[in-house]
């Protein structure tokens, strides 16, 4: 498999002949005026949407937040043959296929066979966060002869990581949304994995290669790549961590 980190949570994953776009956010740096608050994007995408090339599938963890699906990303969705997200997103965006927790869809591979994409649970903050921040989904990708890939989405729950491991182990690659996102909406509670949480998730996901995203580019991401790397170093797990350069395709496995 090959993965290219574009910035924030956005990445392109090439697996089994299919290209998957994770959480499309392609706006340039700007402030987003939202009810009662402002979200600030600090850096633009390493690859503009117009230079992506063909995308077969979009994996949208949720549609309500600009760092996961912004204006340019939303405009891109109609050009993508398959868009998978939450059931709620399917009611708000035409053409979206919503996946319930543990629901699967088979996507044909160009060389025959299929990649199975399963929606898996995610919790965007502490218990009860759904009422304020909405429902989020993660994804697990599987196919004969391919690595099993877990894309966490905006998940802050280690308990849910354990449930996913119990169902799908061994997981070969885990794309973890980290960065300890924090806003006033949940009184400063972490809305995604902290660096220490990411280390604990890595222990649960052993022996998966850990590919962190969602650690930079926005003011509400409070723990950047350096803090994440330091946490993995302190835990003796440097060999499991793969911090991707922006805009550079990286082969894993």
User: In angstroms, rounded to a whole number, what is the distance separating the alpha carbons of residues 73 and 26?
Assistant: 6
Range of the domain at 8: 2-239
Higher-confidence position of 36 and 244: 244
Whole-model pTM: value is 0.97
Is 247 within the bounds of a domain? Answer: no
The 8-class DSSP code of residue 229 comes to: H
Is 138 within the bounds of a domain? Answer: yes
**Contact 32/66 with Cβ under 8 angstroms?**
yes
Question: What's the domain count of the chain?
Answer: 1
Is 181 within the bounds of a domain? Answer: yes
Residue (of 171, 155, 137, 158) closest to 252 by Cα position: 171
Residue (of 212, 131, 211, 122) closest to 158 by Cα position: 122
Is 246 within the bounds of a domain? Answer: no
- Kindly state the helix (H) or strand (E) to which residue 235 belongs, with its residue range: none
Is 244 within the bounds of a domain? Answer: no
Q: Kindly state the average pLDDT of the residues 44-72.
A: 96
- pLDDT of 37 reads 82
Is 218 within the bounds of a domain? Answer: yes
Is 245 within the bounds of a domain? Answer: no
Report the CATH number at residue 217. Answer: 3.60.15.10
Taking each helix axis from N to C terminus, what angle separates 225-234 and 195-204, rounded to the nearest 10 degrees? 50
- Would you tell me how many other CB atoms lie within 10 Å of the CB of residue 58? 24
pLDDT digits over 150-174, tens only? Answer: 999 999 999 999 999 999 999 999 9
- pLDDT of 140 reads 99
Mean pLDDT of the chain: 96
Is 250 within the bounds of a domain? Answer: no
Per-residue pLDDT at 129 exceeds 90:
no
């Amino acid at each position: 498999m090959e993965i290219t980190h574009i910035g924030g949570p956005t990445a392109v994953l090439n697996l089994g002949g299919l290209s998957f776009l994770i959480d499309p956010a392609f706006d340039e740096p700007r402030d987003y005026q939202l009810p009662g608050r402002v979200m600030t994007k600090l850096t633009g995408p390493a690859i503009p949407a117009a230079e992506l090339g063909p995308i077969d599938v979009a994996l949208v963890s949720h549609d309500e937040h600009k760092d996961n699906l912004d204006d340019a990303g939303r405009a891109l969705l109609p050009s993508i043959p398959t868009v998978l997200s939450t059931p709620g997103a399917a009611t708000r965006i035409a053409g979206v296929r919503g996946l319930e927790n543990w629901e699967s869809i088979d996507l044909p591979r160009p060389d025959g066979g299929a990649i199975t994409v399963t929606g898996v649970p995610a919790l965007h903050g502490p218990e009860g966060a759904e009422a304020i921040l909405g429902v989020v989904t993660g994804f697990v990708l599987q196919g004969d002869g391919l690595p099993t890939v877990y894309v966490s989405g905006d998940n802050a729950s280690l308990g849910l990581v354990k449930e996913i491991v119990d169902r799908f182990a061994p997981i070969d690659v885990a794309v973890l949304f980290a960065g300890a996102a924090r806003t006033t909406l949940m009184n400063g509670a972490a809305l995604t994995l902290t660096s220490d949480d990411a280390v604990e998730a890595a222990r649960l996901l052993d022996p998966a290669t850990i590919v962190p995203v969602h650690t930079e580019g926005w003011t509400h991401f409070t723990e950047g790549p350096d803090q994440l790397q330091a946490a993995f170093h302190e835990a003796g797990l440097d060999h499991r961590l793969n911090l991707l350069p922006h805009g550079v395709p990286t082969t894993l496995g």
